[in-house]
Structure 1
Amino acid sequence: MSQLEITKNEILSAFHFRHATKEFDSNKKISASDFDYILEAGRLSPSSYGFEPWKFVIVQNMDVRAKLAEYATGARKQLQSASHFMIILTRLPEDMVAGSDYIQRMLEHVQKLSPEILQAKQNNYDDFLKTRFAIEDDPRVMFEWACRQTYIALGNMMTAAALIGIDSCPMEGFNREQINEVLVAEGIMDPEHFGISVMAAFGYRLHDPSEKTRRCMQEVVEWVE
């Protein structure tokens, strides 16, 4: 078997291994090096125009986790038992418009574009928001568009974790407004720039999952030739 086939099998095996883990073995902890690897998979993830509208907050303080659990009914077991608990924050619309300080910093200092290319990309992005995608006039749509990009990073982190035998669970079972308030009160989130997108727990499963079920390929794929 070629190395390519081995790699393909390893990746598909990771997808079969991965499941939404509801309860973790609280006695088993992810090593620092393994979690750094998971975070690097998130950091290197793609985003629209490469503007990275995310921030990964790792909540290890159990008192803070308990406060979050009051408003996250869909994450209470995971908050109590996960080795690592992540909150993914998303940039607010004010930071994502073409003329914002954040976008300017991304273009100039992160992407290191020349002045000519920087201006061209900024103009293109401005047209994208105002005309082609036409979302700039609706702050809620702008925020949700940025949130969708964070799910790319989350998916990559969960796959990276599964490849080395680490379990995960993405979660939306929380009251967004109240969780935002907790994060602000704890000094974790700057409400002028961020809002919560999604939660995710990482660790090692306490129970074996049921058999994975998915629709067949013929139902989910259509070829247009």
Structure 2
Amino acid sequence: MDIISVALKRHSTKAFDASKKLTPEQAEQIKTLLQYSPSSTNSQPWHFIVASTEEGKARVAKSAAGNYVFNERKILDASHVVVFCAKTAMDDAWLKLVVDQEDA
């Protein structure tokens, strides 16, 4: 399976087959896509948490409470789960770090 072709189909999966797992190569391709996602001024104000173990997915599933409880089964059944974490503000120290990396 070509991950890029799958992503371009823009299909929203409603349920996952827990017996189907991504190969290590597919998981690495996804991580590479995330790593090279463009951002304004290359600030990359995010990081990603990837859970692929049952324990890791269970920890992520705990966040699916209240209005999002319907996502719990999807999280537990998926091969891998990616949590997107984004900065809500960038202070001068963060911007200096970005500029210093660009100059290196």
Superposition map of 1:120-199 within 5 A: none
Distance 2:16 2:103 in 1: 42
Indicate the SS of the match to 2:62: helix
Q: Name the structure 2 match of 1:37.
A: 29
Greater C-alpha radius of gyration: 1
Q: Name the structure 1 match of 2:72.
A: 76
Q: What's the TM-score once normalised by structure 1's chain length?
A: 0.39
Name structure 1 gaps, 5 residues minimum.
1-9, 114-225
Q: Name the structure 1 match of 2:86.
A: 90
- RMSD across aligned positions (CA): 2.3
Change (3 A) 1:74 1:52: farther
Say if 1:66 and 1:79, in contact at 8 Å, map to a contact too: yes
User: After superposition, what is the alpha-carbon deviation per residue over 1:40-93, rounded to whole angstroms, capped at 9, x for unaligned?
Assistant: 111111101110011011133143134123242342231121000111000131
Distance 1:62 1:35 in 2: 15
Change (3 A) 1:62 1:103: same
Q: Name the structure 1 match of 2:62.
A: 67
Change (3 A) 1:111 1:56: same
Q: What's the TM-score once normalised by structure 2's chain length?
A: 0.77
Indicate the SS of the match to 2:85: strand
Number of residue-to-residue matches in the alignment? 97
Name structure 2 gaps, 5 residues minimum.
none
Q: Name the structure 2 match of 1:168.
A: none
Match of 2:8 among 15, 19, 24: 15
Change (3 A) 1:14 1:52: closer
User: After superposition, what is the alpha-carbon deviation per residue over 1:140-178, rounded to whole angstroms, capped at 9, x for unaligned?
Assistant: xxxxxxxxxxxxxxxxxxxxxxxxxxxxxxxxxxxxxxx
Q: Name the structure 1 match of 2:102.
A: 111
Identity of matched residues, %: 25
User: After superposition, what is the alpha-carbon deviation per residue over 1:110-150, rounded to whole angstroms, capped at 9, x for unaligned?
Assistant: 2126xxxxxxxxxxxxxxxxxxxxxxxxxxxxxxxxxxxxx
